[in-house]
Structure 1
Amino acid sequence: MALPAVTSKPEDRVAIAQLGQALKTALADEKSPLRTFLNGDPQPRRAIERDLEPTEVDDLLRFGVAEQTENLLRPRFQAQLIGPHLVFSDLRQSMRVVRKTEERNAYVDPMWEGPTLSNLLVREPAESGLDMGCGCGVIALAMSTYCRRVVALDMNPRALMLARFNMALNGVDNVEVLESDLFSAVEGATFDRIVFNAPVGMELLPRNALESGEQILIRFFSALSKHLKSGGMLHMNVCVKEWSRASFATNLRAWLGENQRDFQSLFIELWRVERGFKFKVRRWLAPFVLPRQYGRLLHIRRGLLIAERNGVARHAETASAYDTWATSLGPRFGASLVKSLMGADPGKARAGPATAVLNTLDDDHRPLGGSVTTAIFNKLQNVPAAALL
């Protein structure tokens, strides 16, 4: 199975934007068969034409979003609404087909983590934003609403194809999509906001053994100071490793180099792995590709790293299953919570959830928001970054 391609051209931007608006209008009806179709399930053409004009259905075919067999429309991609934006990505079922082939590296995932991360961004007005590893563009679309200009980068040509299509689909014209290996396409450029949805790989293949691990992190953080402006903020969905002689906090400061004291950082742990066959393979491979002074691999953690270049040399950590509440509580709550955590005194007891954070919620969501805020602040601790051993 060959992964599909969008067949649009630059001169199609207006038609694509009109199609996007028609799709979003139809999706307002929760019973629309279009919802089922965009979720990846074939539908009769006549059912889709209840919500779309025949010419709009023809555009789905013309742009390669769907294909038709007799009277049945089959989606070639899937889509979902993320806030005000409609975003296309590869079908979930496509991964099952290509995961053991070379095409798995070209697969653009169906927004498993992007929507969650987008609800934890500090959405304050900024001049410039960078979406590193943009995938289908869900983060770049969110950044386009508060950054005057955005650059979206990825190494995967199919990700760039889908990101460009999604920008056109939503009528967004302040995002530039470029092929890049980390910062290679923006050498010399600086940004107020950087978001990096780093890849995660728990595969057993040696070439993937440290995907989004130290090798990528060292390259990224050693270049970060050249590209993040003073006062700028980084949001990073990341997989980190704890070692017997080098914690993540210690390594983070080492990777930032001579500018390490410029940065305040916060890590919110989502989950950790410290047992199982895949973990044992990772532990066995580690000494072959990393400095031995790190010691023994203790566990792998996934979470959200926020770093602000504000001259406050402090690293704090907490934990929360934010994937269970971020999308339901929304971006205003997420942004307010992150700002409160960055300004808090780690380890200091709090009487209760911050009023400013809860004021972002309606009455129905305040109980959940209160319990989330209380729990995450109670786990907030200052973590010293000792000298690298």
Structure 2
Amino acid sequence: MTGVVIDPVLIDRLRGDLSAARFGDEALTALWGTDAAAALRRGQRVPALRALRAADPLSVLAQFLMLGVAVPRHELAAALPSLGVDGAIALGLAEAEAHLVVPLLELRQHSFVDSHGVGAWWIVSDLGETATGGPLREDHVLGVGGASSTLSALMIPLPVDTALDLGTGCGIQALHASRHARRVVATDISERALDLARLNAALNGVTNIEFRLGSLFEPVAGERFDHIVSNPPFVITPRLGDVPVYEYRDGGMVGDELVEAVIRGAAGHLTVGGVAQLLGNWEYRGNTSAFERITGWLDAPPEAEPLDAWIIEREVQDAALYAETWIRDGGTTPGRKFDDLLDVWLDDFATRDVRSVGFGYVTLRRPASAPTLHRLERLSGPLGHNPTGLGAHLADCLAAHDWQSTLTSDDFGRARLIVAGDVTEERHYWPGAVDPTVMTLRQGGGFGRSVPLGTALAAFVGACDGDLSVAAIVAALADLLDADERALRAELDPRIRDLAATGFLAP
């Protein structure tokens, strides 16, 4: 495969041609329609190809850059008038084959909205299996996938001096981090991934990212960062038999050791107050909960700084389903080869008595003194509506936790709280009943949490309009419910604090 070349002049010409052709999500959806766009997201390109009958620049670029179709040389030359066919070949985007030009890379627009506003980048990556028609190469560099989008949405957007993108791949997380960090360091074990990430940064005019080759934290030994983000190669792939190992997803370690290594290594590379965010898989072995094992990973050795930790598990798959999912992800379809690979995966899981595998989000923070946050929870329901991502919500929750952790019981009692604007309450009644049988507090944003309510807590939340203190509301409720005030306060306090920590209530 032709190497990627970082030529500023050619990259500027490519950028100009893409802009002139309006090569982006909005124009392409208008070109082939919403149904074809939805099919592309499912990995099906035929509806889009059927819609492209003309040889206008946008249609030619869509076929060539997005759908992986070879096009006549004269058509590509017209679609890239500034770069030209020779320029595309020189950059490593294409190769000539008789009168056709064959794509070697994929280029798509990644559109997003974050706390800094609306944005879009052109992202170059390797051709997917839809274009190649077969299994992926082991050194495949993935574009913006579901996990990438998940992590970028989770990224806390607070301004920082330095950020680290550990295992940058095509560079998408480093690009997102560049919007709130003065300087970003992006690392990867793959030189090819770094080349594509450099190309993407240059193509989008982002200049505050430094790229380094190496595994895990080796390229940043002795350095600390205000923000670490990582979509590591966390897939649990067997080290047995003839199993393909894809650099973009397989970390080369046994089981979930790579995620453990990132979690354990973060402490030594965070500044005080610095935050690390990553995605990960973890194994459920025997009858042991994965959270018990993760707690062990969080136990820092004596020489390391202990961290605040917030782990959210989003999904658990049984071992067979997990293996099937990732065998298909590599481009192997059901058949004899698929069955052989599945057998090897299940043999590998059996060596560690793995029954299932969890997936989730990890947020770690280096506190100024002793850790105060240790929250491990399972949230498998739909996420709330977050127009600019979950990162701002996470930042608000961390700030709310810090605020509470400094308050004594009396101090908290003097606080005045209000209900967040996205919170609603549901009540369900038996037909003809006066009192509700079920009351639930729901969060429209954030993680879309739902909290069951008793009579006292529902009345408390209903009174949180900022006029009365926590203690005053509880006192009034105790009188109304003919309850002991001290006992009611002891019952409600942890529930109220949790509602504040998770974004239902705010000071």
2:226 is aligned to 192
> Does 2:126 align with 1:90?
yes
1:348 is aligned to none
For 1:355, give the aligned amino acid: G
> Does 2:195 align with 1:161?
yes
- Relative to structure 1, the CA distance from residue 5 to residue 96 in structure 2 (aligned partners, 3 Å threshold; closer, same or farther) is farther
218-227 vs 83-92, which moves further: 218-227
SS at match of 2:62: helix
> Does 2:64 align with 1:37?
yes
- Write the mapping of 1:274-313 to structure 2, written as runs, cut at 5 A: 274-276=319-321, 278=323, 284-285=347-348, 296-310=353-367, 311-313=371-373
Contact preservation (8 Å) 1:222, 1:255: yes
Contact preservation (8 Å) 1:126, 1:147: yes
CA–CA distance in structure 1, aligned partners of residues 296 and 380 of structure 2: 26
2:169 is aligned to 135
* Matched residue count: 346
- Relative to structure 1, the CA distance from residue 20 to residue 76 in structure 2 (aligned partners, 3 Å threshold; closer, same or farther) is same
CA–CA distance in structure 2, aligned partners of residues 217 and 55 of structure 1: 42
SS at match of 2:143: coil
- Relative to structure 1, the CA distance from residue 264 to residue 275 in structure 2 (aligned partners, 3 Å threshold; closer, same or farther) is same
CA–CA distance in structure 2, aligned partners of residues 214 and 268 of structure 1: 15
- Relative to structure 1, the CA distance from residue 77 to residue 373 in structure 2 (aligned partners, 3 Å threshold; closer, same or farther) is same
CA–CA distance in structure 1, aligned partners of residues 400 and 346 of structure 2: 35
Please, which of 290, 295, 298 is the counterpart of residue 248 of structure 1? Answer: 290
SS at match of 1:333: coil
CA–CA distance in structure 2, aligned partners of residues 170 and 234 of structure 1: 25
CA–CA distance in structure 2, aligned partners of residues 216 and 235 of structure 1: 15
> Does 2:306 align with 1:267?
no
1:228 is aligned to 270
SS at match of 1:234: strand
- Write the mapping of 1:31-70 to structure 2, written as runs, cut at 5 A: 31=31, 32-33=58-59, 34-39=61-66, 40-70=68-98
- Relative to structure 1, the CA distance from residue 250 to residue 355 in structure 2 (aligned partners, 3 Å threshold; closer, same or farther) is same
- Relative to structure 1, the CA distance from residue 98 to residue 374 in structure 2 (aligned partners, 3 Å threshold; closer, same or farther) is closer
SS at match of 2:86: helix
- Relative to structure 1, the CA distance from residue 260 to residue 246 in structure 2 (aligned partners, 3 Å threshold; closer, same or farther) is farther
33-42 vs 370-379, which moves further: 370-379
CA–CA distance in structure 1, aligned partners of residues 262 and 108 of structure 2: 30
Gaps of 5+ in 1: 291-295, 346-352, 359-369, 383-389
Measure how far apart 1:69 and its partner are: 3.0
- Relative to structure 1, the CA distance from residue 379 to residue 241 in structure 2 (aligned partners, 3 Å threshold; closer, same or farther) is farther
SS at match of 1:38: helix
Contact preservation (8 Å) 2:96, 2:102: yes
- Relative to structure 1, the CA distance from residue 64 to residue 318 in structure 2 (aligned partners, 3 Å threshold; closer, same or farther) is same
Contact preservation (8 Å) 1:336, 1:357: no
If the length of structure 1 is used for normalisation, what is the TM-score? 0.75
> Does 2:145 align with 1:79?
no
Contact preservation (8 Å) 2:443, 2:449: no
Contact preservation (8 Å) 2:256, 2:281: no
Contact preservation (8 Å) 1:140, 1:150: yes
SS at match of 2:276: strand
Contact preservation (8 Å) 1:354, 1:373: no
Contact preservation (8 Å) 1:21, 1:170: no
> Does 2:390 align with 1:334?
yes
> Does 2:207 align with 1:144?
no
Measure how far apart 1:232 and its partner are: 1.4
- Write the mapping of 1:200-215 to structure 2, written as runs, cut at 5 A: 200-201=234-235, 203-206=237-240, 211=253, 213-215=255-257
- Relative to structure 1, the CA distance from residue 379 to residue 162 in structure 2 (aligned partners, 3 Å threshold; closer, same or farther) is farther
Measure how far apart 1:274 and its partner are: 4.2
Measure how far apart 1:249 and its partner are: 3.0
CA–CA distance in structure 2, aligned partners of residues 357 and 137 of structure 1: 36
Measure how far apart 1:91 and its partner are: 0.3
Measure how far apart 1:5 and its partner are: 2.0
CA–CA distance in structure 2, aligned partners of residues 17 and 312 of structure 1: 49
> Does 2:341 align with 1:315?
no
CA–CA distance in structure 2, aligned partners of residues 250 and 287 of structure 1: 20
Contact preservation (8 Å) 1:121, 1:335: yes
- Relative to structure 1, the CA distance from residue 53 to residue 371 in structure 2 (aligned partners, 3 Å threshold; closer, same or farther) is farther
CA–CA distance in structure 2, aligned partners of residues 221 and 237 of structure 1: 10
For 1:300, give the aligned amino acid: V
For 2:375, give the aligned amino acid: H
- Relative to structure 1, the CA distance from residue 262 to residue 116 in structure 2 (aligned partners, 3 Å threshold; closer, same or farther) is closer
Measure how far apart 1:141 and its partner are: 1.1
Measure how far apart 1:278 and its partner are: 3.9
2:450 is aligned to 378
Q: Deviations over 1:152-211 (max 9, x none)?
A: 111112111211221221222211111111011110000111111121435455276985
1:355 is aligned to 421
Please, which of 231, 238, 247 is the counterpart of residue 280 of structure 2? Answer: 238
78-87 vs 112-121, which moves further: 112-121
Measure how far apart 1:264 and its partner are: 2.6
- Relative to structure 1, the CA distance from residue 298 to residue 343 in structure 2 (aligned partners, 3 Å threshold; closer, same or farther) is farther
For 1:373, give the aligned amino acid: G
Measure how far apart 1:379 and its partner are: 7.9
For 1:376, give the aligned amino acid: G
For 1:16, give the aligned amino acid: I
Measure how far apart 1:304 and its partner are: 2.2
For 2:376, give the aligned amino acid: A
239-248 vs 163-172, which moves further: 239-248
Gaps of 5+ in 2: 32-57, 112-119, 325-342, 402-418, 425-441, 453-494, 499-507
For 1:226, give the aligned amino acid: G
Identity %: 25
2:414 is aligned to none
CA–CA distance in structure 2, aligned partners of residues 357 and 64 of structure 1: 51
Contact preservation (8 Å) 1:266, 1:305: yes
> Does 2:204 align with 1:170?
yes
If the length of structure 2 is used for normalisation, what is the TM-score? 0.59
CA–CA distance in structure 1, aligned partners of residues 295 and 268 of structure 2: 16
For 1:228, give the aligned amino acid: L
> Does 2:18 align with 1:23?
yes
CA–CA distance in structure 1, aligned partners of residues 141 and 451 of structure 2: 35
